[in-house]
Amino acid sequence: MGKNKLKRFAENAEFEHVFQPAFEEVSQDAFPLKGHWADFFGNVNPITLELACGRGEYSVGLAELYPQRNFVGMDVKGARLWRGARTAHERNWKHVAFVRQHIGQLHRIFSLADAIDEVWIVFPDPQLRDSKSAKRLTSPRFLSAYRKCLAPTVRMHLKTDSKELFEFTLETIEQQKLKVFHSIPDVHAAWPNHPELGIRTFYESMWLEQGRTIYYLCFELGTEPCG
């Protein structure tokens, strides 16, 4: 393991706004902030959750735009989310936190009592092979998992350079009869000055330079479909 990774892991362990629950804590559903995130933030402001946050660039970008909201980035890779955690630490932000854990454990980190009202999924692995479609973060399997701890009114934001993932998500939305707020096949052409969608991750900037199209979807999580 490289020295940089070890250094980042050590810093994450020192950050008060980075949580890395152990397997036993998660498996026993004993994470103390579940249902009590307001205690950590010291307020009841709504929470924006970024799933598979990577470097936390979107959590940080949104937190800069909306200091009156709370933000939590979640990713299994500690060396990645360190960058966002470090930025929040340097800026002394009290409205940003990070959780190192698998997305499948979301319901053991949050509950319906937490004030999450929107979720961002920004450039996730599109899992292009059909055999891996269930691993897509907008698959029926994951939407069902989110509903264990998120309200039906939560807004889901997907930003991706993958046409396949965009179309797959549209099909899932249609099958589950979910409410769509926005479906944009070229978001930067449609909304070039949008403050939230204008946040650029490292990879997005690189892909835009390569001429790739960026797709955007916003839809309501909704309830479990009948039948």
Q: Are strands 96-100 and 47-51 parallel, antiparallel or unpaired?
A: unpaired
Q: Tell me which residue of 221, 155, 157 sits closest to 191, measured CA to CA.
A: 157
State yes or no: is 125 an active-site residue: yes
Q: Tell me which residue of 24, 2, 27, 33 sits closest to 99, measured CA to CA.
A: 33
Residues 6+ apart with CB under 8 A from 60: 84, 87, 88, 96
Half-sphere exposure of 128 (CA within 13 A, CB side): 5
Q: Check 75, 125, 130, 161 and give the catalytic one.
A: 125
Q: Are strands 215-220 and 155-160 parallel, antiparallel or unpaired?
A: antiparallel
User: What is the rounded CA–CA span in Å between residue 38 and residue 111?
Assistant: 12
Residue 43 and residue 37 in contact, taking contact as beta carbons nearer than 8 Å: no
User: What is the rounded CA–CA span in Å between residue 98 and residue 57?
Assistant: 12
State whether residue 75 is helix, strand or coil: strand
Q: What residues are annotated to the active site?
A: 125
